[in-house]
Each structure stands twice: as C-alpha cells, then as structure tokens.
Amino acid sequence: MAKSERKKLSANAVKVIILSCMVCLLVVTGVLNFVLTNKFGNPNTNVNAPTVETFFSSYRSDRETSRAEEFSYLDAIIASANASEEAKTTAQEKKMELLTNIDCELVVENLIKAKGFEDAVVTMSTNNINVIVKQTELTSEQVAQILGVILDETKYTPSQVVVIPYKV
C-alpha cells in the first residue's frame, strides 16, 4: 500500500508564501518601472517644461480650491436660518458673479490658446483682468491679439488688462 503521502501546509505557511510572492512582485514592478522609465524616457525633454506645466496646473488648481471655498461660504450664508434676507440676496448675487467670471475666464483662456499660444490662465476681478501666457517674451502683435480677445469677450477697458509672459 504505497500511497503517496502529501504534506499539507499549515494555514500560516500558505499565508507567508502568498505574502512573499506579492512582495516579490511589488519589487519587480518597481524595478521595471525605474528601468523602463530611464530607458524609454525622452532624452530631448526640456528640463524647464515640467516647471511650466506645474505652474499652470497648480495655478488652476489653487484657483479652483479658492473658488470652492468661496462657494462653500456663500452657500452657508444662503442656507443659514440666521442670515438676513439682504445677506442671502448679496450672497446669491456674488455667487452668480463668480459663476459668470469662471465661464468668461474659461472662454478667454481657450480663445487665447486658439490664437496659437500654448497655454494661458486668466483671472478676473472687479477692477482688472490678469492674463498669464506661456511665452518667454511677447511681441506687441501678440499682446494686441490677447487684448483683442479680452476686449471682444469682456467689458474691461485696455487700461484694466494686465498681460504677463511666463518666463521659464
């Protein structure tokens, strides 16, 4: 009666083996990621490009965060049982103004990009409009193009427009 005897692993031993395999796979994935990134990375990548992308991305992110806080504050006033009707009306008007500004900023940013500029961020306030363009230097013709877009799309006067090239 030569039945082959099979050894059974304890539950803890199975867990250790599975966990060890998972750790090995994680290490292999990390090494492959490092090797492939260095091997296939673009050697002609501009060192300053990530900084520019980070600037425009972080600017938009900060602006969105700030606006979200403003909306939250205004919504709290509107929903408050203790706020006067005048305060609620003012908060609703401010909220509508912010929504209008957000829409207009997006339109102006996209129109500036349509004029051939790589990227731009626009911030509107009561007194002025600021435009930051992804360009080391701007010619007078380029500033005129940007100013034309702003004057066509908004009610700002040329003296209220500030155009800033983003210097890398």
Q: Is the pLDDT of residue 1 over 50?
A: no
Task: Give the tens place of pLDDT for each residue, 22-46.
Answer: 777 777 777 777 777 776 655 555 5
Is the full-model pTM beyond 0.85?
no
List Cα–Cα distances, 16 to 11, 21, 23, 28, in angstroms. 9, 9, 10, 18
Task: Give the tens place of pLDDT for each residue, 86-137.
Answer: 999 999 999 999 999 999 999 999 999 999 999 999 999 889 999 999 999 9
In a domain, 73, yes or no: yes
Mean pLDDT of 13-23: 75
In a domain, 104, yes or no: yes
In a domain, 22, yes or no: no
Q: What pLDDT is recorded for position 152?
A: 94
The CATH number of residue 68's host domain is: 1.10.287.4300
In a domain, 11, yes or no: no
- Please count the structural domains in the chain: 1
The domain containing residue 100 runs over which residues?
49-165
Q: What pLDDT is recorded for position 7?
A: 67
Sheet of 129-133, strands arranged across: 120-124, 129-133, 161-165
